[in-house]
Every structure is written in C-alpha cells, then in structure tokens.
Structure 1
Amino acid sequence: MARPFDLEQLNTLILVSEMGSISAAAPRLGRSQSAVSEQVKKLEEMCGLSLFIRSKNGVKLTPAGERLADYGRQLLALSDAAHRDLQGLQLEGDLRLAITDYFRPRTLPSILRRVRDNFPRLRLHVSVRKSALIEHDASDGEFDIGLSMTILDTDAKRREAAQQAILRTEPLSWVAHKSFSLSENGMLPLVVMPDSCSLHQFTVRQLDQDGIRYSVMHTASGIAGLQLALDAGLGVTCLNASAIPEDAQPFTTPALPRLPQVAFTLVPPRNGEAKIVSQVRDLLIEQMR
C-alpha cells in the first residue's frame, strides 16, 4: 500500500515555491531553515524525484514538483473544506475583491486558486485597479475587500499603513533587463505605468528632485505589459520586489535616488460589513501574508 502524503510537507512544498526560497518560507512556516530543508528532502525521497531546481537566486519547481504542488493544493483545500464543513463554517455567496496590479503578480493566481479550492461555494469576483482608486472608492460599495499598495516615503504614510492590516512590506528597486545598457547621451529611458499610477508619480518626482535627465519611453497599461517592456530592454523602471521579472537586475548607473519600502494593506472594513466578508477577509490575510 502506498504511503500517504504528509499535508505539512505538501504545505511546505507549496509555500517554498511561492516564496522562491527556503529562507523566505521558513519564518512563514514557523520553522528553522534546516527543518524546512529536511521536510523538502523527505518529500523528495518519498517521491524518488527532485522537486526543486536550486540556484544561487533561490528555488523553483521542477515539472514533477509543479504536478505535486497542484495535487497538494487540492488535498490541502479538501482537508480545510472538510474541517469547515464539520464545524458548520462553509462559506457561500458572492464576494468582490479589488486588488493592486503590483501585489505578487507571479503567485497571485495560485493564491486565488487556493481560495477558490478552499471555498467552492464562494463566487469570487476579482478586479485589478490602481491603489489610489481602491482607497478612494473604498466606501462606495463597488467592492467588498480592497488590497492596495502604499509607498512608505513619509512618516505620515508609515503611520497610516500601520493602522491597517499589512499583508507584507517589500523594498522598491531600480531595475532593467540584464541585457540593457544606457545610451551614450546619458538620458535615462523609463518604462512606467500610466501617470495616474502612484508609483509612476513617485518615480518621476524622485528623478526630478535629484536632477536626473529621463524620458518616458514606454507606458504600459498593466504590470504584465510593463514586465514585457522590461524584457524587451526598452528601459529602466522602479518596482517592488515581488513584481520584478526573473531576467531583470538592479540598475544603479547613474546614481539613482534611494528608494523606500512599500506596504500592501487591506483597506479598513466598512461599518456593518457582512459576516461572510469578514470571514473571507481573515482567510485572505492568512493566505496572502
């Protein structure tokens, strides 16, 4: 008889793949790096296959690891659903989530898929919006839960973010494709989102303050388009850590302005928020942190 999979080991596999490294996943799992490595090793020994490709930049799943991770998400979802069903906690209904484009674009689909798998009766409607619009429209009833990004460049913004549910903080970096090189005229070509984007506004403001010459070479409508423009070597941009594409690298010539961190937060709940929304809010915090 085949040995059953250990749910904790499967959860470790999934979280390490989403975080991109064992060191990043260990605090989330409440374990030491060596303990997490041992869990991964035991899972690989049980499968008789390598589940991760390891490099100096972290880890990513092998094709076998991808297949096992898909099964793992289903098994974990079934386990959670069985527990909630026995406790009378099954969620049902519609919920509208507004989310910033910058939040973990590579792993957000798997997070939402896990929410869907965990709550098959919940109809989750997701819209991607600018952070400023999410915060401005929070009280208008157009969505139930909003996730926005705040640039922590002032004490006031840091205090404001601290009063909300912070899912994660990330550093901002100047980045370009690894093949990019600056032209001889020294003009900095920028790849940006539309000028309604708070990160676009912050970027050009910092460059103006430091007297750095620049030209907007490409304006993307969304993070996927911006990443494609970077991959094409069209210019330099400012991005949060989880939105930086794999083939991009830090760009430091000329000496560009130092950058702060950003915080991803859930906008405060409205008065009289429905119980189902509060329950999903708590679960999203657990899944997205």
Structure 2
Amino acid sequence: MSRFDLDLLNTLTVVAEAGTLAAAAERLHRSQSAVSEQLQKLESFCGQQLFTRSKRGTRLTPAGERLLGHARQLLDLNDQVLHDMRGTGLSGDLRLLITDYFRPNAIAPLLKRLAERYPGLRLHVTVRKSALIEAEPADFDIGLYMQILHDHAQPLLAGVEPVRDERLHWVIAEHLAAERPATLPLVVLPATCSLQGLALNILERARRPYLVAHSASGVAGLQSALSAGLGVACLNESSIPPGTVPVPASWQLPALPAVQFRAKVNAHSGAFARDVLGVLKAHLT
C-alpha cells in the first residue's frame, strides 16, 4: 500500500499557514519552485487539487482542508514517537512572554496544537511589548520579541536566538489602495510602541504630510481599523490582516526596514526552558 511522505505533508501545513509559496519557501529554507514541485507531487499522490493559486497567494480547496487535518495529526504522532524513543518528552510548566506582533492570526491555533502535541507541557502565555520582554523581567522562562533591523539594531546577545525575519509594510484597506491622499491618514498605537514611533519618525524625516486618523490600543484593534478603511499603518508581514494590502509603490512612501523576531531564555530557568525553546522554534518559524 502507498504511504504518505511526511516531508510533503509538512510542506502542505507550512504553505497553508504562510498563505503564499514565497513565504512558505522562506520558512522551509527551499526555493519557491521546489515548494511548488512538492505540492504538485502531493496533489498527484492524492489525485486531488489541494490548493488554488492566485496573485494574492494560495488557498486550500475542500480536499486540502481535509488533508491538512490529517497531516497535522500524522506529523504530531511522528514527533511524539520520536520524542518517546529519544526520551525527550516535554512536561512541566513554562512561562512564555510573546509580542502581539508575532503572527497574531496564527499564534492561538499554534499554541493549541502545541498543547495537544505535548499534553504534559503547560504553557502560561502572556502578551507583552517587545521592549519589556527584551529588558528581561523576572516572570518568564522564554520571551519572544521583535527587533527592528535598522543601522543601530541590538546585536544578538548570549542566550538570544533569531526565529524569523520579516519585512515591514505600509498597509491599507484594499478598496482604498487606488487613490493616493495628499495627507496620509494614519492608524497608530500608543507612543510607547517602538514600531509606531519608527513609522512616525520615517514619515517626518521624509517630510510626508500625515494626520492621526485613529488610535488603537493593541495590534488587534489596529488590524480592525485597517480592515475598516480608517487609514494606513506600518505592520510586519505576518500581521497584515485580510482585506488589506501593502500600499502601492505609486504612493511613494518612504522605505521601511526589516524586523527580526528573537527568542531568549531566562538565565535562571535552567535546561528545561532551553529544551522547550528548541521544540518551539520548529513551530514558530
């Protein structure tokens, strides 16, 4: 009897989560053509179309949705067996601090899957600003924060590991992207947010007129305001909500730097936290 290739199933799950072949290729450390070829092999094996492809990305077909559920179960079982054979099953309490800019649309289902995969691992998750996580408070074991990669970006320190790089974009509701306003209406977060401070500084240096059209208290509120067409905001790639798009180049907005998500382990948390970080990184990239 024919058997599924776990590598192909893993590619399916990454493409489904990333939304585009380009983003999936980056996470898988493969070329975009190699990822596309893997999907074609899987579709040929199943005898079903699993994705529809367009300029805006990829979307699962009903058959792809069914296979995705099975794929996650098979991959989870594979990991459980491997950890059992190696004696590296994870169990215990772990305090995780995480910035709300990190894959906000995917983090809740991701944590749910981790809980299902490692039932003995009890995650206590708190969302906090990147600057507070980077400052290393005492109440955490693993912290995941965002670092802006400008010229004076903080270098990697001992105990800090890169997780993923993302581009920053000026973002607007899709139905408003065609017309460039003379004064840029901004959707912003509080002044204590370093990313929003960066965006304002860049606009001021470029002498681009703007006004604050809406103030949100968190990333979720910012995304809602963008989707409602209340203005433009600066967001990292994985935070761009449905119904919005990067601002067209014809608007001639100033360029934005990239960001890097970094993970750090509390120096007092011991080997268990470092072991968990190794497992988490495989799911967070």
> Is this a same-fold pair by TM over 0.5?
yes
Q: In 2, distance between residues paired with 1:13 and 1:191?
A: 35
Query: How far off its partner does 1:28 sit?
Result: 4.2
1:226 aligned onto 2:222: yes
Aligned to 2:260: 263
Summarize deviations over 1:158-212 as a string: whole Å, max 9, x none: 5357983111111211121122269998322111122221111111222223333
Q: TM-score, normalised by structure 2?
A: 0.89
CA separation of 1:36 and 1:162: change in aligned 2, threshold 3 A: farther
One-letter amino acid of the structure 2 residue matched with residue 287 of structure 1: H
CA separation of 1:54 and 1:236: change in aligned 2, threshold 3 A: same
Q: In 1, distance between residues paired with 2:95 and 2:275?
A: 13
SS in 2 for 1:186: coil
**Equivalenced residues, count:** 284
Aligned to 2:102: 103
Between 176-185 and 253-262, report the one with greater CA deviation.
176-185
One-letter amino acid of the structure 2 residue matched with residue 149 of structure 1: M
Q: In 1, distance between residues paired with 2:71 and 2:7?
A: 10
Between 5-14 and 110-119, report the one with greater CA deviation.
110-119
Equivalent residue runs for 1:75-224 within 5 Å: 75-136=74-135, 138=136, 140-154=137-151, 156-157=152-153, 159-160=155-156, 164-180=160-176, 186-224=182-220
Q: In 2, distance between residues paired with 1:235 and 1:284?
A: 35
- Say if 1:74 and 1:117, in contact at 8 Å, map to a contact too: no
Q: TM-score, normalised by structure 1?
A: 0.87
Q: In 2, distance between residues paired with 1:185 and 1:173?
A: 17
CA separation of 1:162 and 1:86: change in aligned 2, threshold 3 A: closer
Between 228-237 and 23-32, report the one with greater CA deviation.
23-32
Gaps of 5+ in 2: none
CA separation of 1:90 and 1:28: change in aligned 2, threshold 3 A: same
Query: How far off its partner does 1:262 sit?
Result: 0.8
Aligned to 2:55: 56
CA separation of 1:93 and 1:110: change in aligned 2, threshold 3 A: same
CA separation of 1:60 and 1:84: change in aligned 2, threshold 3 A: same
Aligned to 2:245: 249
Q: In 2, distance between residues paired with 1:58 and 1:254?
A: 23
Q: In 2, distance between residues paired with 1:207 and 1:32?
A: 35
Summarize deviations over 1:209-245 as a string: whole Å, max 9, x none: 3333322121222222211111111001111111112
One-letter amino acid of the structure 2 residue matched with residue 95 of structure 1: L
Q: In 2, distance between residues paired with 1:26 and 1:253?
A: 28
Quote the RMSD (CA, aligned, Å). 2.6
